[in-house]
Amino acid sequence: MSESSLSIGMLLFPELTQLDLTGPYEVFARAPDANVHLIWKTLDPVRSDRGMGILPTCTFDTCPALDVICIPGGPGQINLMDDDETLSFIRTKSENAKLVTSVCTGSLVLGAAGLLRGYKATTHWASLDQLTLLGAEPVNERVVRDRNRITGAGVTSGIDFALNVIADIYGAEIAQSIQLHMEYDPEPPFTSGSPRVAPEEILEQAKKQIAPFIEKRRLATEAAGRQLLKNN
């Protein structure tokens, strides 16, 4: 880590789920002397899966050294699973990073880059089993740490994840202060936020609704897994 400031890089790719990025960004950007970089291949606006346009701040070519690299998830993740340019960028930047991290299905991208082999990790609940295809050990927890890898579960877990990252780097007091400024004292209106607690009919309906998409994702994960074996 550089001595005077912390360099945090988040991948901003087309059809990402924007809250996977914007939740942790809000936490990271409040850390003392942190610079948060939003990284993509060009500086053109990137559209999220639901249409929000967000501006990258640097490209693969201009991105500085990173103390923390963070890969968010979302449907666009599928296109990254065999994108050599992106996987190679992630691998290179991760070599000297203090923490290599992800939110939601960003961990599948880390896995496709070969960075989770032999590591415990998590991802969105509907794709958790796919981590084994990339040599990782799926753990059904909201934030999972194994050595210098920290992975968060689905979408909103990014806030919990990022507070953990900040506590790891700056200590608990800074993280507690950021949590207070962000008034993060959640009161979900329903008990429905994970398969563990959601009403059975809501869970079954959700699974059915996303099944075709999850199978499409699985094909990409399987192909990435085969590529990893071939590269070894």
Residues at the contact surface with a second copy, assessed by CB under 8 A: 17-19, 22-23, 25-26, 29-30, 36, 38, 45, 50-55, 57, 104, 124-125, 142-143, 153-157, 159-160, 163-164, 167, 172-173, 175-177, 179-190, 192-199, 202-203, 205-206, 210
Rg of the chain taking only CA atoms, in angstroms: 17
Min separation Cβ 120 and a second copy, Å:
17
Kindly state the smallest distance separating residue 213's Cβ from a second copy, in Å. 11
Residue 147 CA to its chain's centroid (Å): 17
63 is catalytic: no
CB distance 8 to 37 below 8 Å: yes
Tokens 């059915």 belong to 208
Closer residue to a second copy, CB minimum distance, 170 or 227: 170
Cβ closest to a second copy, residue 73 vs residue 135: 73
3-state helix, strand, coil in the chain (%, to 5): 45, 15, 40
Q: Least separation, in Å, of the C-beta of 197 and a second copy?
A: 6
Per DSSP bridges, beta strands 34-40 and 6-11 are parallel
Residues 160, 182 contacting (CB under 8 angstroms): no
Q: Pick the closer one to a second copy by CB: 96 or 140.
A: 140
Kindly tell me which of 63 and 155 has the beta carbon lying closer to a second copy.
155
Q: Which of 58, 63, 70, 104 is catalytic?
A: 104
Contacts of 130 (CB under 8 A, 6+ apart): 108, 123, 217, 218, 221
* Shortest separation between residue 190's beta carbon and a second copy, angstroms: 5
Q: Enumerate the active-site residues.
A: 104
